[in-house]
């Protein structure tokens, strides 16, 4: 038997509801903030991720799925969404002045070769958003507010916003020099990955999850102490906007995020929900003002975030103890041969009107049909046979009240709509709000 590849998962029919519910909230909140969806390819030229995410990052060095195609071109399954959005904006020239700022969101599978664990798979799903073409601190606050609003719409209210600033390129460079100097005599007290990161990009040493409580890192210089006046003003205005929005936040001076392209604001939103375990981060993001220029595009400042959907679903498990059950509107029970009456036409007409309906394919007896119907959790049984066909009526039985009513075929659709929208018609005519 061929099994699924390690680090991937099947999303089964019994689980799909929670995915679809989350996706619906995602799209509704995106509309509220006036973000438009963009869809990019699942694989891109490897160079895109090497240049954007960073040659020395763990993602590029250890985790990307790279392959050579038949044209001898190197391709990579996308490990994150921002780089592809940047490439698409540049290639399709979406950055014309009248379009700015662009407010885009994306959703789809990403791929990283890492050790599978709870909430982290090798094929995982991300929901991300980007505001492109403005360096206003209001955009930073907007993107943080968007992320927080999405979590609240999912009823995840126990959240903590952590924020920091890496400053502009000048501030970041000064800080990295000071950090390198500080770490030089102490690096031997940190893990092997930190020793490697020190040589490649010392900033990412602060992002270490192994040594996060090590005094060497706790006492390290902080990016906020090296901000230029302009960068400090930008961060102060972000904070002012968050306070105006009544968003509780904590300044985490050690927060740097793991990707090389960040400048100015970086943030994470965490939760202490029990189902998340030790990895409490639900969303991370920040500003990346130089990424478009580095990929040979125009000088476009931008800010964004990315959620891991699998981790969100874990968080929701702690909140939604009772899973919503699947249901259909009606189950059609045929007495006798379904081909000899207009049963199929009735079913099809109801479907065209938006009624979710199913029926028996195996010519089972009535008792077996009721048993099958109950598995599908219908709101109504529709019972139809030769006698009903002669009178052009159908017996409609509510699974909730157990009441059974004979309804004219011509009035059936309206009767069901009234019932499904909590309006009653006790006389069975189906054409009013109550006889």
Q: What is the pLDDT of residue 55?
A: 61
Q: What is the pLDDT of residue 257?
A: 74
Q: What are 107-127's pLDDT values in tens digits?
A: 999 999 988 877 789 999 999
Q: Reply yes or no on whether the pLDDT at 434 is more than 50.
A: no
- Which string of DSSP letters, residue by residue, matches 259-315? -TT-EEEEEEEE---GGGTT--EEEEEEE-TTHHHHTTS----EEEEEEEHHHHHHH
Helix (H, G, I), strand (E, B) or coil at 8: coil
> Where along the chain do its domains lie?
16-168+228-319, 328-420
Question: Is domain 328-420 given the CATH code 3.40.50.300 in the classification?
Answer: no
* Residues 90, 51: Cα–Cα separation, whole Å: 15
Q: What is the pLDDT of residue 40?
A: 98
* Residues 192, 214: Cα–Cα separation, whole Å: 14
User: Above pLDDT 70, what percent of the chain?
Assistant: 93
Domain 16-168+228-319: what homologous superfamily?
Bira Bifunctional Protein; Domain 2 (3.30.930.10)
* Residues 167, 178: Cα–Cα separation, whole Å: 14
What is the DSSP-derived secondary structure letter of residue 432? S
Q: Which residue has the higher pLDDT, 244 or 321?
A: 244
Q: Which residue has the higher pLDDT, 326 or 267?
A: 267
Q: What is the pLDDT of residue 169?
A: 87
Average pLDDT value for residue range 11-40: 96
Helix (H, G, I), strand (E, B) or coil at 421: coil
Q: What are 296-348's pLDDT values in tens digits?
A: 899 999 999 999 999 999 889 878 766 667 899 999 999 988 877 899 999 99
Q: In what order do the strands lie in the sheet with 123-132?
A: 36-37, 102-111, 123-132, 302-308, 281-287, 263-270, 160-165, 249-251
- pLDDT band for 433, please (50, 70, 90 cuts): very low
* Residues 68, 84: Cα–Cα separation, whole Å: 19
pTM (predicted TM-score):
0.86
Place of tokens 């030089």: 184
Q: Going by C-beta distance under 8 Å and a sequence separation of 6 or more, which residues neighbour residue 332? A: 343, 346, 347, 357, 358, 359, 360, 382, 384
């Amino acid at each position: 038997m061929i099994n699924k590849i390690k680090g991937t998962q099947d999303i089964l029919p019994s689980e799909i509801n929670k995915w679809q519910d989350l996706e619906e909230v995602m799209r509704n909140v995106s509309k509220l903030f006036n973000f438009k969806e963009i869809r990019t390819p699942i694989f891109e030229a490897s160079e895109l991720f090497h240049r954007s995410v960073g040659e020395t990052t763990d993602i590029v060095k250890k985790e990307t799925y790279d392959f050579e195609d038949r044209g001898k071109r190197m391709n990579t399954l996308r490990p994150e969404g921002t780089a592809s959005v940047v490439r698409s904006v540049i290639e399709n020239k979406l950055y014309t002045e009248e379009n700015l700022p662009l407010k885009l969101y994306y959703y789809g599978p990403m791929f990283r070769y890492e050790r599978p664990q709870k909430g982290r798979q090798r094929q995982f799903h991300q929901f991300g958003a980007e505001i492109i073409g403005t360096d206003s601190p209001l955009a930073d606050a907007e993107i943080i507010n968007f992320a927080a609003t999405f979590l609240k719409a999912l009823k995840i209210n126990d959240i903590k916003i952590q924020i920091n600033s890496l400053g502009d390129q000048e501030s970041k460079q000064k800080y990295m020099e000071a950090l390198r100097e500080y770490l030089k005599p102490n690096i031997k007290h940190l893990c092997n990955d930190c020793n490697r990161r020190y040589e490649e990009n010392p900033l990412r040493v602060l992002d270490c999850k192994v040594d996060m409580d090590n005094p060497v890192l706790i006492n390290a210089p902080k990016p906020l102490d090296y901000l230029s006046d302009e960068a400090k003003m930008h961060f102060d205005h972000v904070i002012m906007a968050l306070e105006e929005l009544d968003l509780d936040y904590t300044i985490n001076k050690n927060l740097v995020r793991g990707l090389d392209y960040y400048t100015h604001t970086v943030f994470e939103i965490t939760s202490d929900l029990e189902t998340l375990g030790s990895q409490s981060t639900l969303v991370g993001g920040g500003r990346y003002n130089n990424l478009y220029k580095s990929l040979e595009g125009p000088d476009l400042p931008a800010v964004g975030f990315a959620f891991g959907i699998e981790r969100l679903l874990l968080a929701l498990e702690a909140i939604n103890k009772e899973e919503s059950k699947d249901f259909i509107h009606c189950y059609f029970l045929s007495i006798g041969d379904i081909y000899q009456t207009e049963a199929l036409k009735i079913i099809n007409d109801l479907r065209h009107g938006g009624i979710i309906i199913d029926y028996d394919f195996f010519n089972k007896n009535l008792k077996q049909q009721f048993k099958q119907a109950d598995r599908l959790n219908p709101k109504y049984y529709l019972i139809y046979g030769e006698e009903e066909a002669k009178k052009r009526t159908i017996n409609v039985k509510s699974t909730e009240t157990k009441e059974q009513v004979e309804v004219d075929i011509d009035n059936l659709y309206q009767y069901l709509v009234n019932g499904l929208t909590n309006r009653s018609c006790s006389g069975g005519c189906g054409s009013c709000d109550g006889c």
